[in-house]
Amino acid sequence: MYTHAIVKKPGINFAKGITTANLGKPKYEKAALQHRLYCEALKKCGLKVIVLEPDLRHPDGCFVEDTAIITEKSAIITQPGDLSRRGEKEEIAEIISNYKKIRCIKSPGTIDGGDILRINNHFYIGLSKRTNKAGAKQLAIILSKDGYTSSTIPVKSVLHLKTGVTYISNNNLIAIKEFSNRFKLFNIIKVDEDENYSANCLFVNNFLMVPKGFPKTKQKISELRYNIIEVEMSEFRKMDGGLTCLSLLF
What amino acid positions are annotated as catalytic residues?
A: 160, 245
The reply to whether 63 sits near ligand GLY by the rule CB under 6 A is yes
Neighbours of 101 (CB within 10 A): 11
From candidates 131, 199, 240, 246, binder to ligand GLY by CB under 6 A:
240
Q: Where does this chain touch ligand GLY (CB under 6 A) — which range of 14-22, 39-47, 98-106, 195-203? A: 14-22
* Candidate residues 39, 45, 69, 239; the one interacting with ligand GLY per rule CB under 6 A: 239
Q: To the nearest 10°, report the CA torsion of 78, 133, 183, 157.
A: 90
Is 18 a binding residue for ligand GLY by CB under 6 A? The answer is yes
What are the contacts of 173-177 at 24+ separation with CB within 8 A?
173/119, 174/198, 174/199, 174/201, 174/217, 174/221, 175/199
**Which of 53, 47, 228 is CA-nearest to residue 64?**
53
Residue 201 burial class via C-beta count within 10 angstroms: exposed 0-12, middle 13-18, buried 19 and up: buried
| Closer to ligand GLY by Cβ: residue 84 or 169 | 84
Find out whether 243 and 64 touch, Cβ atoms under 8 Å: no
Site for ligand GLY, residues 69 to 128, rule: CB under 6 A? 82, 85
Stretch that binds ligand GLY, among 22-30, 50-58, 101-109, 238-246 (CB under 6 A): 238-246
228 touching ligand GLY, by CB under 6 A: no
**Residues binding ligand GLY: what is the number (CB under 6 A)?**
10
Residues of this chain that bind ligand GLY (CB under 6 A): 17-19, 60, 63, 82, 85, 239-241
